[in-house]
Amino acid sequence: MSTIAEVKPKNIPSLPAENVDFRRFDRPAALTPQTRETQPEKKRVLAMFCFEGPDTAVGRFVRKTARELAALRIPVHIFSRQSFEMESPGVQLHPVGACTEPDLLGQVNEFTRRACNAFLSEFQTSSSHVTLMGYEWSSIQAVTLLHGIKNVGAILSLHSLERQRSNLGSELGKWIEENELAGLREAKLIVTHDAATAAVARHCVPDCAERLVDACPQIPMEGFQFNLDPAEVKARFQVGPVDPTILYVGDLDERYGPDMLMKAMPTVLRQYPQARCILVGDGQLLWPLRVYSRYLLLDHAVRLAGHLADQALYELIHAADMIVVPSVEQTPWWPIEAAWAAVRPVVATSEAAPSLLQHKHNCIVTEPDENSLAEGIEYLLSDLQFGTTLGRRGRDELEDRYRENKLLAHIQEAMGMESLLQKSPCHAEV
């Protein structure tokens, strides 16, 4: 684990270790099997750390999230410099006081010392039931220290990163970035507030991509509803008006499995020779997919559409007969949610979104291999009316989820709780 000492550049003072009460870092003795059985499980708790004031954009987000989690009966503790003066039941405030150091870094170090000691005073014994949540770079020191010492999970919320705010030309800027990178590597969940911050995080720490969550996810539900003839859209891709159209949307790389879909098409075409497949996206598999199409004699049935976005993509999703998500590991849910927004059925592998998909309830779930994928596609092609039913169920579930705060569900999952996003396990295979 990266520590503050490891990332401290020259001339930047580190957190004064002698001022943190390390006696409180002792972990409780291991429970014996007998005491483990009698020890009741503690209720999950979220401990928030915020250096920013309650009237800032960050502070308002802290207040909103704390209220909404408390309404779900999740205890929340806020460790901050100034009191948030909330009266929400279930929210406990731990203002540690103004930090009087003359420079910003000194103030952050002072906040870290006080907040860590306040946390350790509140949770003097086991804190395995606690999850930390740090807001912005100024809280990462506290979260990193407690994460390493108490071995508890951590969540980060970032409105921006130092690479967006500066050219990293100063020692302070470099120090802040190293702390941010340590936080990105360690956090179980990373909440971002705009696409640019998420893109920078992915670039700096590629491994964090699957842990990124948009604080304000936007599936424009109304954007997928058109008074548009699907045949007109299909014609743009040289597809006949009644040809069953299979659509793939995503990166063209091995994780997303477009090559698996390509290899499944010969089997599908033997049963449904009029079926057509459109692959939307770009990536390293673009050229291999062209080779597969030529080698498997699929040029008449497969269209490699390249990059599409916004209205053109929405119209194509609206016109497709099904959306296929052949991922070999968990990938972003956007294609599934977009299909449901357009009331279109989904065929997806069991790896694509295991907590979201329910076989024959809101989609057709297959194993991540070409034969199982072909069977799933054929199952829907044999009963497009059932496919419409699946699409409607998906749309209903999407509307239900967006009536709730999706971010809260992700936070619950990171805390190890059953969340709004969790569904029952997929049923039998196709």
Helix, strand or coil, per DSSP, at residue 360: coil
Angle between the N-to-C axes of helices 370-381 and 258-271, in degrees from 0 to 180, rounded to the nearest 10: 50
pLDDT at 350: 93
Is residue 276 in some structural domain? yes
Is residue 411 in some structural domain? no
Verify that 187 and 243 share a domain, yes or no.
Answer: no
- How does pLDDT run along the chain (430 residues), one tens digit per residue? 333 333 344 444 455 545 555 444 444 444 444 444 445 567 889 999 999 999 888 998 999 899 989 988 999 999 999 999 888 889 999 999 988 888 899 999 999 999 999 999 998 877 788 999 999 999 999 999 998 888 889 999 999 999 998 888 888 899 999 999 999 999 999 999 877 888 899 999 999 988 998 886 557 676 777 788 999 999 999 999 999 999 999 999 999 999 999 999 999 999 999 999 999 999 999 999 999 999 999 999 999 999 998 889 999 999 999 999 999 988 888 899 999 999 999 999 999 988 789 999 999 999 999 999 999 999 999 999 999 999 999 998 887 766 556 788 889 988 987 544 443 333 333 2
pLDDT at 425: 32
Is residue 427 in some structural domain? no
pLDDT at 196: 83
Verify that 259 and 202 share a domain, yes or no.
Answer: no
Domain hosting 291: range is: 221-404
Verify that 133 and 227 share a domain, yes or no.
Answer: no
CA dist 36 and 294 (Å) reads 62
Residue that is last in its domain, among 190, 214, 238: 214
Verify that 169 and 242 share a domain, yes or no.
Answer: no
Backbone phi, then psi, for 66, in 5-degree steps?
Answer: -60, -45
Is residue 430 in some structural domain? no
What is the number of domains present in the chain?
2
Residue 351 contacts residue 374 (beta carbons within 8 Å): no
Angle between the N-to-C axes of helices 171-186 and 140-150, in degrees from 0 to 180, rounded to the nearest 10: 40
CA dist 194 and 215 (Å) reads 8
SS3 content of the chain, % helix, strand, coil (to 5): 45, 15, 40
Is residue 36 in some structural domain? no
Verify that 176 and 252 share a domain, yes or no.
Answer: no
Query: What global pTM score does this model have?
Result: 0.54
Residue 295 corresponds to which amino acid? Y
Residue that is last in its domain, among 193, 214, 235: 214
CATH number of the domain at 159, please: 3.40.50.2000
Is residue 429 in some structural domain? no
Verify that 127 and 189 share a domain, yes or no.
Answer: yes
Is residue 231 in some structural domain? yes
Verify that 366 and 390 share a domain, yes or no.
Answer: yes
Verify that 168 and 301 share a domain, yes or no.
Answer: no
Verify that 300 and 204 share a domain, yes or no.
Answer: no
Is residue 409 in some structural domain? no
CA dist 342 and 312 (Å) reads 14
Residue that is last in its domain, among 214, 239, 263: 214
Verify that 197 and 330 share a domain, yes or no.
Answer: no
Verify that 209 and 229 share a domain, yes or no.
Answer: no
DSSP string, 164-204: HH--S-SHHHHHHHHHHHHHHHH-SEEEESSHHHHHHHHHH
Verify that 186 and 246 share a domain, yes or no.
Answer: no
